[in-house]
Amino acid sequence: MPVSTFVLPASLALQLVSGAAPAAKPASSPASVKPAATAKATPVYSQAVAEKLIGPALTEGHAYARLAELTDGIGPRLSGSEGAAAAVQWAMRGFKADGVKAWTEPVKVPRWVRGEERGEVLATERTRAHPLSLIALGGSAPTAPEGLTAEVVEVTSLEQLAALGDSVKGKIVFFNHTMSVPADYGRFAGLRGRGPAAAVKAGAAGVLVRSLATASLRTPHTGSTRFEPNGPKLPAAAVATEDAELLHRLLANGPVRVKMVLGCSELPEVESHNVIAEVKGREKPQEIVLISAHLDSWDVGTGAHDDGAGVAMVMEAARLIAKLPQAPRRTVRVVLFMNEEHGLHGARAYAEAHAAELPRHVAAMEMDAGGFKPVAVSLRAGAGGQDLVRPWLPPLVALGAANFSAREAGGADLSPMAPARVPFFGVEVDSSRYFDYHHTMADTLDKVDPQDLARSTAAVAWMTYAMAEMPTTLARPEAPATPPGAPAPAATQPKATGH
């Protein structure tokens, strides 16, 4: 999921973390829909359609079964891997079985492959050696086969690293931080995304980053790190929060040396694919409501929350919409992006290939914050968006999502469409436990609650239909000052680092 989702004021973060359903606010809240009042008014939508979308999503368990197929049947699917290729075929079979027309579009993706990885804190006169629980970051260079052994220097920011100047030459830079709640992800993801590149410029020999985690049982969290194209790289790994705290304690007592062995490698780019599917609109087929998720995952765990759940939601939304007696007014297009996690190449390929069509993309969403319960609807559009959407919210009351989020809709894979001023919408989920599992071997099917997934799927199906059916469309937002998906100098663009 994108960092930007988690850059928000602490007050809002608390609202998210508390898990309190915003729909339970007093009815006087302007952002909430009042069930009693709206239930008696004549709805602007067909109640029968709401039932045909939300009913099956809540009762058939189809999204969860599909998620089980993807995670148990295919497992991890890092872009460029056999798993990713298998996932493309699986998605194509799924759409076919659902009677939804689908095709693939080519995407060149990097192929980074994990190898042996281990590390230890070397013994000193006072302390015995400790194994480190670590995981290479995507894009890391390997160490020499015998490993890298060096002294550790702890820093807590890129600024602090810069201030150290030459003194980190030949050392292992250890980026420590204080992440404790999901809202901290945005604050600290830059240490993972840009820290290694900064360290290699300073002459460091390697990097360890504290995992971006809200829970840990010695669980290291991987993720992408970015070096300059064709520039120097270094071995970079995340350590579990426990190991970060151990390093911090040991460093308080004297010098610490670490040995790390990383056997990862960067293979040549391979051709992969976005998977695209469509339910043609009945009146304005040229207008496109895009719903998306990313098909790739990290190579540890099975990407159940990130982003198998999103894939299951949007595929199921398309299946249910395709089964309606009458297609919605506009075309619903599903995009399962490839390579969100490690380059965003699928998102860029889509925006390029469909550049001429983007003015006709009237709304776009990406579900990429886990398979949790829905808590709100989000928008990023021009003036009047909430007024347009509000009459369509009553079917979300019992799902706990019939209110507007204070956060803008978005998604890493949507960012290349932002310059074309495509309006974004979203179903916000309760991601308070997302960073317990995010980018770890523990992101597995058992972490997804079938009820929560069903409820979010229902909300996605309904909001997709609403966007495709409402008489008018969202006003287009202002173009962003800097396209969020475009490469930008590291110092000025923290939001693009942490997919």
CA distance 458 to 270: 36
In which element (H, E) is residue 456 found?
A: helix 450-469
88 or 474: CB nearest a copy of itself:
88
Residues 282-341 that bind a copy of itself (CB under 8 A): 301-302
Are residues 151 and 186 in contact, defined by beta-carbon separation less than 8 angstroms?
Answer: no
In the stretch 248-287, what mask flags binding to a copy of itself with x, by CB under 8 A? Answer: -xx-------------------------------------
**Shortest Å, Cβ 239 to a copy of itself:** 12
Q: Which of 218, 255, 384, 451 binds a copy of itself (CB under 8 A)?
A: 218
CA distance 240 to 421: 40
Does 435 bind a copy of itself (CB under 8 A)? Our answer is: no
Q: DSSP readout, 459-484? A: HHHHHHHHHHHSSS-PPPPPPPSS-T
Collect all residues with Cβ–Cβ distance below 8 Å to 296 and sequence separation of at least 6.
77, 78, 79, 84, 87, 109, 303, 337, 338, 339, 340, 341, 342, 346
Is residue 340 flagged as an active site residue? yes
44 or 123: CB nearest a copy of itself:
123
Does 241 bind a copy of itself (CB under 8 A)? Our answer is: yes
Does 442 bind a copy of itself (CB under 8 A)? Our answer is: yes
In the stretch 196-215, what mask flags binding to a copy of itself with x, by CB under 8 A? Answer: -------------------x
DSSP 173: E
Q: Which stretch binds a copy of itself (CB under 8 A): 237-245, 263-271, 393-401, 418-426?
A: 237-245
155 or 256: CB nearest a copy of itself:
256
Beta strands in 388-456 (DSSP E): 404-408, 424-429
Are residues 375 and 430 in contact, defined by beta-carbon separation less than 8 angstroms?
Answer: yes
Does 217 bind a copy of itself (CB under 8 A)? Our answer is: yes
CA distance 491 to 145: 33
133 or 225: CB nearest a copy of itself:
133
Q: Between 309-322 and 450-469, two packed helices, what is the crossing angle to 10 degrees?
A: 50
Greatest pairwise CA separation for the chain in angstroms: 79
Q: Is the dihedral of CA 452, 456, 459, 465 positive or negative?
A: negative
User: Binding-site residue total for a copy of itself (CB under 8 A)?
Assistant: 35
Q: Which of 5, 15, 219, 292 binds a copy of itself (CB under 8 A)?
A: 219
Does 444 bind a copy of itself (CB under 8 A)? Our answer is: yes
Structure-block tokens of residue 185: 């992800």
Q: Which of 11, 26, 126, 268 binds a copy of itself (CB under 8 A)?
A: 126
Q: Which of 105, 242, 266, 357 binds a copy of itself (CB under 8 A)?
A: 242
Structure-block tokens of residue 132: 């480190």
Residues 60-89 that bind a copy of itself (CB under 8 A): 68, 72-75, 82-83, 86
Catalytic residue among 278, 316, 340, 469: 340
Q: Could you give the residue numbers annotated as active site?
A: 340
Site of interaction with a copy of itself (CB under 8 A): 68, 72-75, 82-83, 86, 126-130, 133, 215-219, 241-242, 245-246, 249-250, 301-302, 436-437, 440-442, 444-446
